[in-house]
Amino acid sequence: MSGKIDVTINNKKVSIKEDTWLLTALEAENIKIPVLCHHKDLTPDGSCRLCMVEIEERGKRKMVTSCNYPVRSEIKVFTDSDPVKKHRKQLGEFYLGRYPNVPIIKKVAGMCGVTKIERKPYLVDENSSACVLCGHCIRACREFAQEKILSFAGRGIKRHVAMPFEKVDPHCIGCTSCAYVCPTGAIQIVDDLNNPLDPQLIRDHGMKVNAEMATLDDQQCRMRKVGTANIVDVMDNYDLLPINNYQYGTHEEVWKIDSWMLQRKYFTQGLPDGCWKGCSMACAKTIDNFELKTGPYKGQKVTVDGPEYETAAGGSNMGLFDMDAIAEFNFYCDTYGIDTISAATTIAFVMEAFEAGIIDTSVTNGLEMCFGRSDSVLELLHRMSRGEGFAVDVGKGIRWLKNQWNKTLNLTDDQKAFLQDIGMEVKGLEVSEYVSKESLAQQLGYGMAVKGPQHDEAWLIFMDMVNNELPTYEDKAEALYYFPLWRTWFGLYGLCKLCWNDVTPADNKMSAEPQKIPDHVHNYFKFVEGMTGRKLDEAGMLEESARVHNFQRLMCLMLGKGRRNDDYMPFRGIGPVTVKEYESRSDRYDKQLKEIVGFDPEGKPVEEKLARLREYREEQYDKTLDVVYRRRGWDNNGVPTMERLRELEIDLPEIVAILEEYQKSG
């Protein structure tokens, strides 16, 4: 978008990206400029004036502060001209005169050529950790914590940093950002919470997260503005947003339910709303004064907690491109205590079965369960809450519905197979809202997840499909070993995983394993070390996590769902089920058949192409299961081996008993 601009810096020509701050450009040229109010992670302020340089634009010379001067035209810059030196010296005198004992001031004044002052000013602060009014603390409070606890008070020479009404503000969350960025030590930290072993270590890494949130979030995921809803736009762009029970991945009406719509028309408050006060991401978003159109609270204005990505995408999965309906669905699911993902996925399944003619209104108690019918969706929810008829069946989930319909409806084998293919559940849990057809990693992430196909344990779709960080088969298989363990690890410590990957360091792409975001993984290790004193590395983390993960797998086995058979995805999650689905992306599938499967699709009927593609993809799935089981130390039925249990030191009698029971029954 921005072009390059030729700028002459001290008679040297350089090319600079448009809208770069001049100071950044000067620093890139290794030119030392004295600064005080400037901080690399905070919005430039231009108040200390130390970074002033002289520029010449259209023949006219003037002084500008380089920190907040955007380069937009071909200027000449002079960083060392007489006026610059003269003004710098005067500023240095002011600062050194007023704060003679503050180390940073001495250093900055030295850069301005001032070591002792000629005129003693009226106000002198002898304190060596005096506040020098740089404003770092105030900006950190706003930009890191999104709070407004600190501000300047007093005009002119009376300017000082204060909390509201000059009192200690109880709303201060004690995040210590202000003290952290203070260059003079004027703000002191008193650590009296939880007795961490090394609070400074935690702080050093926490502030890195804060700074990244403040500087990068707006360009990356906009978590502070729209929360996880930003993913709607991304998934739609990459053909991964579930539409009509995962049939398709994109739709022309998505703009009606995307994050921009939410930001412009729905989300209110505009306040940081995190799980805990002090979270610098604060991604929770709400809609206030939302007037309900149905149900027991019809006509009332309520606050909707959300919608988040999964709820909005659940909407598109049911064919709803109406944010009002999605918000109402969101509110009533929350109010009735119904999970929005399971509800949306189950209803999407019901809708497809309805449209395919497998069920009709005699089954649905008169509800027209077509895609896009928000009235039916909401009425179904209300009936579910009242425990009425068909709605109760839907409430029991997809697996139950499939069994019930197989038993009670007079279905053909084809119809039964079709229901099996499109009923998006694994281990009895409904699949969360991503189209995994083109992502082998995500298919197995869902299929192998011990707790069922949610996105907590293996959310690989983004790194696989959007960032393209798992290009090879080996990468994908390895990711299925590493990431479920890494993501389980968050649960062990009760830590939020959003600040691991919902903002990434600017230079993450340059790291050895960008999909792991090593810099952020390291942050977590340091949090543990700072809290407990125990050093942690990747191997240690994986071992800790594997213990729990294997234990979970055996629990799963004990409950009858921990074998290979339980790890398969319905085919809708692996590839196209219907002719229509195939035809909607035929270029992609034809290409794959031709280039990878080695089957020439030219002139072949779609049914045949579908069958060949299915064969290939199921084979891939099976093959990958074998590889990953082996990597995890499980047998080819997906059960942990005794050696693995011993290795992990979880060969406790009760656990061994479960394994022996399995081996006995074969």
Partner 1 sequence: MKITVKDLSTIAAKKNNELNTYKAMLMVCTGTGCVSAGGFVIRDELNKILEQKGLDKEYLVVGTGCNGFCAVGPIIVVQPDGIFYQKVSKDDLEAIVNDHLIQGKIVDNLLHHGKADDSAKKTMKEIEFFSKQELIALRNKGIIDPENIEHYIAHDGYAAIGKVLTDMQPKDVVQEVIDSGIRGRGGGGFPAGIKWQSAVKAVQKRGMPPYVVCNADEGDPGAFMDRSIIEADPHAVLEGMMIGAYAIGASEGYIYIRKEYPLAMIRLEKAIGQAREKGLLGKNILGTDFCFDIHIHRGAGAFVCGESSALMKSMAGKVGEPRAKYVRSVEYGFRDAPTVLNNVETWANIPMILRKGANWFASIGSGDVTGNPWGGSSGTKVFSLVGDINNTGLVEVPMGVTLREIVEDIGGGVPGNRSFKAVQTGGPSGGCLPAEKLDMPVDFDSLTEAGSMMGSGGMIVMDDKTCMVDVAKYFTEFLANESCGKCTPCREGLQTLRETLQNICDGNGCESDVKYLEELATFINETSLCQLGGTAGNPVLSTILYFRDEYQAHIQDKCCPAGYCKLLVTYSISENCIGCTVCAKKCPVNAITGDRKAMHVIDSETCIKCGICVEVCPVDAVEVK
What is the nearest approach in angstroms of partner 1 to the Cβ of residue 260?
13
Which positions from 24 through 83 interact with partner 1, judged by CB under 8 A?
A: 46-50, 52, 63-65, 68-70, 83
> With respect to partner 1, which residue has the nearer C-beta, 90 or 200?
90
What is the nearest approach in angstroms of partner 1 to the Cβ of residue 88?
9
Transcribe 544-594 into DSSP letters.
Answer: HHHHHHHHHHHHHHHTT--SGGGGPPPGGGTS--SHHHHHHTHHHHHHHII
Number of residues that bind partner 1 (CB under 8 A): 33
**Residue written as tokens 């340091």?**
526
> With respect to partner 1, which residue has the nearer C-beta, 63 or 284?
63
> With respect to partner 1, which residue has the nearer C-beta, 71 or 358?
71
Which positions from 87 through 146 interact with partner 1, judged by CB under 8 A?
A: 87, 90-91, 94-95, 98, 119, 121-123, 133
Number of H helices, E strands in the chain: 27, 11
> With respect to partner 1, which residue has the nearer C-beta, 68 or 420?
68
Judged by CB under 8 A, the residue of 4, 12, 17, 86 near partner 1 is 86
What is the nearest approach in angstroms of partner 1 to the Cβ of residue 133?
8
> With respect to partner 1, which residue has the nearer C-beta, 152 or 482?
152
How many Å separate Cα 228 from the centre of its chain?
Answer: 6
What is the nearest approach in angstroms of partner 1 to the Cβ of residue 64?
7
What is the nearest approach in angstroms of partner 1 to the Cβ of residue 270?
12
Outline where 99-170 has alpha helix (H).
103-111, 136-143
Task: Write each residue from 573 to 612 as x if it is in contact with partner 1 (CB under 8 A), else as -, in one continuous string.
Answer: ----------------------------------------
- Outline where DSSP puts E strands in 239-308: 286-291, 301-305
Judged by CB under 8 A, the residue of 152, 260, 525, 616 near partner 1 is 152
Which positions from 481 through 540 interact with partner 1, judged by CB under 8 A?
A: none
**In degrees to the nearest 10, what's the CA dihedral of 89, 95, 98, 103?**
-120
> With respect to partner 1, which residue has the nearer C-beta, 95 or 248?
95
Give the dihedral sign, CA 493/498/503/504.
positive
Cα 512 to Cα 99: distance, rounded to the nearest angstrom? 46
Identify which of 411, 370, 446 has the alpha carbon closest to the alpha carbon of residue 401.
411
174: left (phi over 0), alpha (psi -120 to 50) or beta: left
> With respect to partner 1, which residue has the nearer C-beta, 258 or 421?
258
HSE of 470 in the Cβ direction (CA atoms, 13 Å)?
26
What is the nearest approach in angstroms of partner 1 to the Cβ of residue 60?
13
Which residues, at least 6 apart from 227, have a Cβ–Cβ distance to it below 8 Å?
283, 284, 285, 308, 309
Residue 127's CB: how many other CB atoms inside 10 A? 14
Q: CA angle, corner 300, sides to 389 and 231, nearest 5?
A: 75
Cα 351 to Cα 368: distance, rounded to the nearest angstrom? 9
From 149-157, 279-287, 336-344, 398-406, span contacting partner 1 (CB under 8 A): 149-157
What is the nearest approach in angstroms of partner 1 to the Cβ of residue 67?
9
**Beta bridge partner(s), residue 436:** none
What is the nearest approach in angstroms of partner 1 to the Cβ of residue 141?
13
Rounded to whole angstroms, what are the CA distances from 133 to 156, 161, 404?
A: 12, 7, 71
Cα 356 to Cα 352: distance, rounded to the nearest angstrom? 6
Q: Which amino acid, residue 239?
A: D
What is the nearest approach in angstroms of partner 1 to the Cβ of residue 89?
10
Q: Which helix (H) or strand (E) holds 361?
A: none
Helices 413-422 and 398-408 pack at an angle, to 10 degrees, of 170
Judged by CB under 8 A, the residue of 81, 128, 151, 578 near partner 1 is 151
What is the nearest approach in angstroms of partner 1 to the Cβ of residue 180?
23
> With respect to partner 1, which residue has the nearer C-beta, 3 or 357?
3
Task: Write each residue from 155 to 194 as x if it is in contact with partner 1 (CB under 8 A), else as -, in one continuous string.
Answer: xxxxx-----------------------------------
Which positions from 538 through 567 interact with partner 1, judged by CB under 8 A?
A: none
> With respect to partner 1, which residue has the nearer C-beta, 32 or 264?
264
Identify which of 152, 187, 139 has the alpha carbon closest to the alpha carbon of residue 37.
139
What is the nearest approach in angstroms of partner 1 to the Cβ of residue 458?
40
> With respect to partner 1, which residue has the nearer C-beta, 156 or 357?
156
> With respect to partner 1, which residue has the nearer C-beta, 114 or 347?
114
Q: Are 479 and 627 in contact (CB under 8 A)?
A: no
3-state secondary structure of 241: coil
What is the nearest approach in angstroms of partner 1 to the Cβ of residue 97?
8
What is the nearest approach in angstroms of partner 1 to the Cβ of residue 83?
7
Which positions from 275 through 304 interact with partner 1, judged by CB under 8 A?
A: none
> With respect to partner 1, which residue has the nearer C-beta, 94 or 405?
94
Phi then psi dihedrals of residue 631, to 5 deg: -60, -30
Burial 238-277 (b: 16+ CB within 10 A, else e): bbbbbbbbbbbbbbeebebbbbebbbeebbeeeebbbeee
From 6-14, 153-161, 223-231, 464-472, span contacting partner 1 (CB under 8 A): 153-161
> With respect to partner 1, which residue has the nearer C-beta, 51 or 202?
51
Which residues, at least 6 apart from 363, have a Cβ–Cβ distance to it below 8 Å?
390, 409
> With respect to partner 1, which residue has the nearer C-beta, 164 or 605?
164
What is the nearest approach in angstroms of partner 1 to the Cβ of residue 549?
48
> With respect to partner 1, which residue has the nearer C-beta, 112 or 593?
112
3-state secondary structure of 631: helix
What is the nearest approach in angstroms of partner 1 to the Cβ of residue 301?
25
Identify which of 88, 101, 116 has the alpha carbon closest to the alpha carbon of residue 184.
101
What is the nearest approach in angstroms of partner 1 to the Cβ of residue 43?
10
> With respect to partner 1, which residue has the nearer C-beta, 164 or 366?
164
Q: Contact residues for partner 1 (CB under 8 A)?
A: 46-50, 52, 63-65, 68-70, 83, 86-87, 90-91, 94-95, 98, 119, 121-123, 133, 151-152, 154-159
